[in-house]
């Protein structure tokens, strides 16, 4: 089931788009749970996450482009498709990582062309990312951008491929593991550290060497289980 948000201030337009998405799902064997909203408040505040967002640009209050920029501040991964009657917004749309652009009126062929481009990403939606509740909102961290996360006092330090300084968030290691996929690449190597196995270069003795050259301690109590888990993840290639 893929959670879809349609932000459209005209109810008739929202209904047309919703019906088109459902027909696409029936045609391609996909299940969609669709929510509609006339404003982009929840999207801008980061209080909800979705697998796919359709966003009208001309909205009352905060417009769609502003909402998209705010959304990308906490979620760089979720596919975003703009709907608008003004095609000149297309360039700005791609600046915020838009996956598609539908010029109104929305038709089934236009909708299908846009969805065909993101259907592969939809099949992976919900996986490959960590979603954490932070300060009344949410923070989405794609796993492909995460080397490892460590606990520093009461804060989590997320070491990412996208920056030199770690991203600091209040939380616990337990929250990270609970937010991760059961069969995903995250592995806890000590009481205060979780690594992304896709970026582990060597696990030996009491050390784990990461792709960014960081050396992390592997606790004695977790050593055997961690090495077995890592070996299994690599298909027994150790």
3-state secondary structure 182-230: CCCCEEEEECCEEEEHHHEEEEECCEEEECCCCEEECCHHHHHHHHHHH
Q: What is the pLDDT of residue 191?
A: 95
Statement: the pTM of the whole predicted model exceeds 0.75: no
- Measured CA to CA, the distance from residue 120 to residue 114 in angstroms comes to 12
Q: Is the pLDDT of residue 207 over 90?
A: yes
- DSSP letter assigned to residue 105: S
The pLDDT tens digits for 12-51 are 999 999 999 999 999 988 889 999 999 988 777 766 778 8
Strands 100-103 and 129-134 turn out to be unpaired
User: Residue 105, preceding bond cis, omega within 30 degrees?
Assistant: yes
Chain position carrying tokens 């769609």: 64
CB atoms within 10 A of CB 46: 19
CA 21 from centroid of its chain's CA atoms: 21
The pLDDT tens digits for 167-197 are 999 889 998 988 877 767 899 999 999 999 9
The pLDDT tens digits for 54-111 are 999 888 888 888 888 888 887 777 888 988 876 665 556 656 777 888 888 999 999 9
Q: What is the pLDDT of residue 123?
A: 55
Domain residue limits, the chain: 2-123, 129-233
Superfamily of domain 2-123: Response regulator (3.40.50.2300)
The two structure tokens encoding residue 58: 């001309």
% of the chain exceeding 90 in pLDDT:
39
Domain 129-233 has CATH 2.40.50.1020: yes
- Measured CA to CA, the distance from residue 100 to residue 79 in angstroms comes to 8
* Contact indicator for 148, 185 with CB cutoff of 8 Å: no
Q: What is the pLDDT of residue 88?
A: 60
User: Mean of the pLDDT values across residues 145-157?
Assistant: 92
């Amino acid at each position: 089931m893929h959670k879809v948000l349609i932000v459209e201030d005209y109810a008739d337009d929202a209904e047309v788009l919703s019906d088109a998405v459902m027909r696409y799902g029936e045609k391609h064997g996909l299940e969609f749970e669709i929510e509609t909203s006339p404003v982009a408040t929840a999207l801008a505040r980061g209080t909800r996450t979705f697998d796919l967002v359709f966003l009208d640009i001309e909205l009352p209050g905060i417009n769609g482009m502003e909402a998209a920029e705010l959304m990308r501040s906490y979620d760089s991964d979720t596919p975003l498709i703009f709907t608008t009657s003004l095609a000149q917004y297309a360039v700005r749309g791609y600046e915020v990582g838009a996956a598609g652009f539908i010029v109104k009126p929305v038709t089934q062929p236009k909708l299908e062309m846009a969805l065909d481009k993101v259907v592969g990403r939809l099949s992976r939606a919900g996986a490959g990312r960590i979603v954490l509740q932070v300060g009344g909102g949410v923070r989405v961290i794609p796993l492909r951008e995460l080397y490892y996360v460590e606990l520093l006092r009461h804060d989590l330090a997320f070491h990412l491929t996208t920056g030199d300084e770690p991203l600091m968030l209040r939380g616990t290691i337990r929250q990270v593991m609970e937010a991760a996929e059961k069969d995903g690449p995250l592995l806890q190597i000590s009481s205060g550290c979780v690594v992304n196995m896709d970026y582990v270069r060597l696990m030996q003795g009491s050390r784990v060497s990461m792709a960014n050259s960081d050396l992390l301690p592997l606790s004695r109590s977790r050593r055997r289980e961690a090495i077995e888990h890592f070996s299994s993840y690599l298909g027994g290639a150790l």
